[in-house]
A and B are shown apart, each in its own frame.
Chain A
Amino acid sequence: MTTNGSGANGSNPRLLEGLKFLDLTWYGAGPIATRTIAGMGAEVVRVETEKRPDGLRVAPPRPVDSAGYNVSGYYNNFNTDKKSVTIDLTTERGHELGIELVQWADMMMTNFTPRAIRQIGMDWETVSKANPGIIAMYQPMQGMSGPHTEYGGFGAILGTVCGINGLAGSEGNPPVGVGTNYTDYVVNPIHAVTGLLAALYHKRRTGEGQMIDMSQLESSVAALAGPLFAQVNGAGTYVREGNHVKYAAPHGAYQVADGETSEGESRPDRWLAIGCTTDEHWRSLAAAAGHPEWADDPRFATLADRKANEDALDALVAGWARDRDGDSLQASLQAAGVPAGLVLNATEVLADEQMVDREYFRYLEHPEAGLRAQDGSGFKLSKTPAEPMRHSPLLGEHTYEIATEILGLTPEEIGDLVAEQVLF
């Protein structure tokens, strides 16, 4: 367990050391991108207001009997290593300070709608005039042009429009989606990181900054494009098929016996995911299951055969798995080289042997929320680790520091601006 930044990054070089980044994002898709940039060592300054705080600051989960803007696990997992300054950009003086931050920054990012971007005066024309070399990413739901450019919404809206609800689940069940605002957490933010760093690479080669127009809709569809690419190019209309896929069988989640939690309580609803992409996987499964005759059954000889008889195939595997211990099944299938893994819940992921061995989760002490698990970096860099090192900022935690050190304000000026509700 790694606490308080004493971990992987410690004495290693940071690859974005010295890079200044202005963060005008909120919710998931923006903040996870800037968290990743911050993890790489950039100085990320997040402008927030108490008038309209990031909705995740007040969203669950939070520790029992805690309240306020600083205790949400939802927010705190997505904003590590950043600084928070509270400025009301909708005031005239606040906007001037915002523009000074634009001039300070090498890069900036916002995921507001075009309308809100104009309201805070952070459109590309204004920003590039103030800082001609800047790289600015605009990441609204629909992009910065087109008939739907002003459409608003969070992950729940985007998920439906980008197609995830229409792709997931089984025909016959309502299109409820995948239980989360899925594209908010990897697809859109981490795509964004690549776009930002590509622009930085170009800037460092040529000196040229640029605007990046990133539509969360396009980014999401790009990562879900297989079915529509097939459909538009003549492979037939997409049909929702639950846990089945066209290129593998057996392929699904098979219920196993109830288990036990580490506290000795019953753990019902346990499932084992299996995905046999080759005939060899299937033969190995049959052998590991103690049913070598399955492999000889002509109904299941090839992938085409198994797909044609998939109900019978599933019934066979499901019947075998149903009352057996999931851990033993996982171990025996893996020993036989069959792709198989238990459907873990979050408690089990946190304690998973592999995740623990690789120190994926980072444990950071937060002044109001306590010692908390944070997602680590989704990629491990051998020389310049990008793991989270410092807890997410309290709302306005760095206002004084930024006002004096970046904006050059005196304590008296700061006092006046607080009284005018420009700074908080």
Chain B
Amino acid sequence: MAMALEGVRVLDASGPIGHYAGRMLADLGADVIKVEPPDGDPARRWAPLLPDVAEPESGLQFLLLNANKRGVTLDVTQPRGRELYLELVKSADIVIDSLQLAEATELRLTSDDLTAVKPDLIHCSITGFGLTGPYANWAYSDIVGCAMSGTMQLAGVQEGPPEQLPDMQGFHSASIQATAGIMGALIYHQATGEGQVVEVSMQEAMSISQETAMMQADILGTNRERGVPMRGLDIPGLGLHEAADGHVVLVASGLAGSGFPGLVGLMAETGDAQDLTEEPYTTFIAEKMNTNFLMVALADPEQAAEVQDVMSHLDQVVRDFCRKQPKLYLYEEGQKRRVLVGMVSTPQDILNSPQLEGRNWFTDLEDSGRGVTLRYPGPQWQLAATPSTLRRPAPLLGEHNNEVLAEIGIDQTTLSALASEGVTA
């Protein structure tokens, strides 16, 4: 089947902040060449590590985010290395890098330098703070992006510190934004033949993930705090509940789905509704157990006092019920009855997900270079006519040096000399 980006060549010289971007373009069919320094990208050595496989081939985050790419090693700080890099740039449609302004200037690998050899290049720069402004050269790691974008301020419990988002969301947000920008630039190139610069700042890339916090600060001048639900409502059937083997989240008091009556129906089937199928609870549930009513009622101390006892009882019955059942039961049986329930999945739950299995989402791929077969997560979308595919594992360090350099006309003798001079090894 056709691939959407068939024939598009990408040079991915980025550090860990940009790995995911190159991976997505590769999944869509682009020929992506990972360019690393001779001692390898730092993420090659980042734990968690693949057991029984030696450094620098065991970093699992590297393996995940660099699958589908070929790999070359090149020391661009040496004149000959830089020259070869520019030769590769000439052969590419898109270059992704994560050089900060000062580094790019020092190495003479700015956008201007790149477009001097390839005028219609799409050059994507992904860094912590962008290529302009007072922080352009600031040091960053993933957690710094979480912090300075405002998203970390919202995560965590009140009595604890603000918390990072899991699994490098600063880096991933930057890569996700970059990929969309690159696709836009590619569409423009297709129409006009012109390249351009796509520039991403991790701080900016994550900002919209502040949810309503930015708008609240702008409109009302107040700030959201961590550990406080957005609407500040503490009512039955809403929020985190303990299940027999973990947790579920219920959103059974809104107007969506079958609401609280649906939840009572589910509880009644196993005889766990207690007295909620009797008066005065049936009327209360039918008329008052929705966020629209309760938001108004709870704002008025007199009304709030009136409903508080009933609500405490409902809450108790729901919590008793949830504690008796496994989370998958609550999730599947609730959702079948249009009660909005979500189970708090662990990584193992996701690996066992009936839905992901039903859609054949995971793929096993042999990695002969490392002597293993790994299970990979599937794509972000399924384009029916041009599906994403998983074709090869992440490159071993320098695996495709000869292959890729031969493609730009470097002969065997020169290749050996480059290696012994430390340009490629």
Contacts and interface: CB of A to CB of B under 8 A. Distances in A.
Contacts of A73: 212, 215-216, 218-219
Interface stretch (A1-9, A93-101, A218-226, A395-403): A218-226
A35 B146 CA distance: 23
B354 A147 contact: yes
Contacts of A299: none
A271 B45 CA distance: 29
Given A62-B219, A148-B355, A214 B382 contact: yes
A182 B180 contact: no
Interface in B15-73: 20, 24, 28, 42-43, 45-51, 60-61, 63-64
Contacts of B226: 179
A181 B251 CA distance: 13
Contacts of B144: 273, 275, 339-341
A160 B246 CA distance: 11
B165 A182 contact: yes
B210 A342 contact: no
Interface string A325-368: 00000000110011111111111111011110110110000000
Contacts of B377: 221-222, 225, 228-229
A195 B345 contact: no
A369 B220 CA distance: 12
A419 interface: no
A175 B347 contact: no
27 contacts: A61-B220, A77-B215, A156-B342, A157-B341, A160-B247, A179-B154, A180-B211, A186-B209, A194-B24, A194-B28, A198-B5, A205-B190, A227-B347, A230-B48, A232-B347, A234-B51, A235-B49, A247-B43, A255-B161, A345-B153, A346-B218, A347-B217, A354-B129, A354-B130, A358-B130, A378-B207, A380-B181
B187 interface: yes
Interface string B135-169: 10011111111111111111111001111111111
A354 B203 contact: yes
A120 interface: no
Interface stretch (B296-304, B383-391, B404-412): B383-391
Contacts of A361: 214
Contact of B220 (A64, A153, A344): A64
Given A73-B219, A372-B215, 15 more contacts: A60-B216, A61-B219, A164-B166, A166-B349, A194-B179, A227-B166, A228-B350, A235-B60, A236-B48, A252-B161, A253-B143, A273-B147, A345-B150, A381-B188, A382-B111
B338 interface: yes
Given A74-B212, A158-B342, A202-B385, A378 B205 contact: yes
A297 B300 CA distance: 60
Contacts of A237: 347-348
Interface of B: 2, 4-5, 20, 24, 28, 42-43, 45-51, 60-61, 63-64, 111, 128-130, 132-135, 138-157, 160-169, 172-173, 176-181, 183-188, 190-192, 194, 196-201, 203-221, 223-224, 226-227, 230-231, 240, 247-249, 251, 256-257, 331-332, 335, 338, 340-351, 354-356, 358-359, 361, 372, 374-386
Interface string A152-187: 111011111111111111100111111111101111
Given A61-B215, A271-B161, A346-B217, A383 B188 contact: yes
Interface stretch (A81-89, A138-146, A406-414): A138-146
Nearest to A78: B208
A195 B144 CA distance: 29
A389 interface: no
A180 B151 contact: yes
B200 A380 contact: yes
A238 B347 contact: yes
Contacts of B133: 353-354, 357-358
Contacts of A201: 4-5, 183, 186-187, 190
A51 interface: no
A376 interface: yes
A399 to B, nearest CB: 25
Given A273-B152, A340-B144, A379 B178 contact: yes
Contacts of B64: 225-226, 229
A129 interface: no
Contact of B384 (A210, A235, A334, A378): A210
Contacts of B183: 193-194, 197-198, 201
Contacts of A46: none
B256 to A, nearest CB: 7
A110 interface: no
B197 A382 contact: yes
Given A73-B216, A358-B133, A379-B177, A199 B386 contact: yes
A316 to B, nearest CB: 16
B344 A168 contact: no
